Amino acid sequence: MLKHRIIPCLLLLNGGLVKTLRFKDPKYVGDPINAIRIFNEKEVDELMVLDIGASKARREPDFELIEQFAGECFMPLCYGGGVRTFEQARRLFASGIEKVCLQTAALENRRLITQIAEHYGSQAVVVSADTKKAWFGGRKLYASHTGKTLDISVDDFLARCVEAGAGEVLLNSVDRDGTMGGMDLDLIRETATKLSVPLVAVGGAGSLADMKAACDAGASAVAAGAFFVFHGPHRAVLITYPSYDEIEKFFGEAEAEYG
């Protein structure tokens, strides 16, 4: 039976790993290659690396660094950040990554989704939607490269991206990012029922119980940042990943329904 994927989501900024709190205050947490080696040894299900500075600065992906990452990974690797052209995506795939994650490009030029999907398959294109609680209830789409909320419905945006060829959706909630206080289960539930493609939920996971709750709400996979890089109440930097036994114990029941 299929297992729910548990995915460390690493944020890259100027070549170092950082972790944010509600998309702000990036705190340096270490060297990315070192972290990726540890996650590879821990046999993580999948790894996601997002360069949070690239689109803001209109910078290209750091191809050399990403190729090094791919060389260390014996599991699927997804890269996002600054991918705006098909040629950039081609270079990334050639260097050994499995999936590219698009947000700014998906907002500005959905044709890129189609181009990549037609050449490399839908499974190779992940679209990332960041959401923020609106003042009067509901959630709005948030553009991480400008830091502004948009007047576009999350569901419409995702539906159009999936129609364009996106094979997976990464759904984040800005208000939960880095808090480790639990995930936005209502958002996950509402979005997952409308999506035909797998949903990766991220934002707020602080325990395996939080992750299981997200999967029970309809997520196919859960990604997390702080949960894998911080330890204890003072958020000391320590890279961890639960053992397979722990995950199996926790997810046992959910897997039975899922598979």
- Residue closer to another protein by CB (options 25, 246) is 246
SS3 of 158-193: the string is HHHHHHHCCCEEEEEECCCCCCCCCCCHHHHHHHHH
Unique residue bearing structure tokens 């569901």: 155
What minimum distance in Å lies between the beta carbon of 123 and another protein?
5
What minimum distance in Å lies between the beta carbon of 98 and another protein?
7
What minimum distance in Å lies between the beta carbon of 231 and another protein?
24
Q: What is the DSSP string of 40-107?
A: HHTT-S-EEEEETTTTTTTPPP-HHHHHHHHHH-SS-EEEESS--SHHHHHHHHHHT-SEEEESHHHH
Rounded to whole angstroms, the Cα distance separating 101 from 115 reads 14
Concerning whether 45 is annotated as a catalytic residue, the answer is no
- Residue closer to another protein by CB (options 168, 210) is 168
In one-letter notation, the amino acid at residue 231 is H
For binding to another protein (CB under 8 A), which residues are involved?
Answer: 1-5, 40, 43, 45-46, 70-71, 73-76, 93-98, 118-124, 167-168, 196-198, 220-221, 244, 259
Phi and psi at 50, nearest 5°, equal: -120, 120
Which residues lie closer than 8 Å to 89 by C-beta, 6 or more apart?
83, 100, 112, 115, 116, 120
Rounded to whole angstroms, the Cα distance separating 21 from 24 reads 5
What minimum distance in Å lies between the beta carbon of 9 and another protein?
16
State the catalytic residue, choosing from 45, 130, 184, 210. Answer: 130
| Tally of CB atoms within 10 A around 246 | 11
What minimum distance in Å lies between the beta carbon of 142 and another protein?
25
- Residue closer to another protein by CB (options 178, 242) is 242
- Residue closer to another protein by CB (options 168, 184) is 168
- Residue closer to another protein by CB (options 121, 181) is 121
Would you name the residues annotated as active-site residues? 130
